């Protein structure tokens, strides 16, 4: 019995099918990357009123903390004044990356926002970060 041998034309046809299939996968992956890039598919913070977000000592004056899981960025623009905003960048929905010198930064494409009110300060972001209500109870910052 002789082993099966594909003719040259059949091999080429099969390769074309494989490559076109990979192309479709690539497009699907690219679309998925655009749609759900913040991981949860939602731009809303995922907290409930009363949830403990951080200790006040964790949030430096003039700086802040990005809570990626809760999609919240906490800031302390001036000593004793704590603010919170959605951490989902209004540019492409990725999570902002840091807070420094009174500015919330999204290093993905260079957007920046005020740590005081979430207003756009630079980069491609089309709109401000929405404020999230928080309250300080003792030495803890809670979702309000």
- Per CB under 6 A, 111 contacts ligand FES: yes
Pull the structure tokens for residue 57: 């000592």
Q: Is 106 in the site for ligand FES (CB under 6 A)?
A: yes
* Closer residue to ligand FES, CB minimum distance, 74 or 106: 106
Q: What is the DSSP letter of 120?
A: E
The answer to whether 91 contacts ligand FES (rule: CB under 6 A) is yes
Minimum distance of ligand FES from residue 125's CB (angstroms): 6
Closer to ligand FES by CB, 56 or 92: give it: 92
Q: Is 68 in the site for ligand FES (CB under 6 A)?
A: no
Q: By CB under 6 A, is residue 99 in contact with ligand FES?
A: no
User: Strand order of the sheet with strand 103-106?
Assistant: 98-100, 103-106, 111-114, 120-122
Q: Number of residues in contact with ligand FES, rule: CB under 6 A?
A: 12
How many of the other CB atoms lie within 10 Å of CB of 114?
18
Select the residue interacting with ligand FES from 59, 72, 89, 134 (CB under 6 A): 89
Which pair of tokens denotes residue 45?
A: 């913070």
Find all residues with CB under 8 Å of 78, minimum gap 6, and list them.
61
> What is the phi/psi pair of residue 21, to 5°?
-65, -40
Interface positions with ligand FES (CB under 6 A): 89, 91-92, 94, 106, 108-111, 123-125
């Amino acid at each position: 019995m002789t082993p099966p041998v594909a003719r040259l034309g059949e091999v080429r046809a099969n390769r074309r099918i494989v490559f076109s299939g990979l192309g479709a996968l690539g497009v699907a992956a690219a679309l998925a990357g655009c749609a759900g890039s913040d991981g949860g598919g939602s731009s809303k913070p995922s907290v409930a009123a009363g949830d403990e977000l951080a200790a006040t000592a964790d949030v430096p004056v003039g700086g802040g903390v990005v809570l990626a899981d809760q999609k919240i960025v906490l800031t302390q623009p001036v000593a004793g004044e704590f603010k919170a905003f959605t951490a989902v960048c209004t540019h492409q929905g990725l999570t902002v990356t840091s807070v420094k010198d009174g500015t919330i930064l999204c290093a993905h494409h260079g957007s920046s926002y005020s740590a005081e009110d979430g207003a756009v300060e630079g980069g491609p972001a089309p709109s401000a970060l929405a404020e999230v209500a928080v309250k300080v109870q003792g030495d803890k910052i809670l979702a309000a």
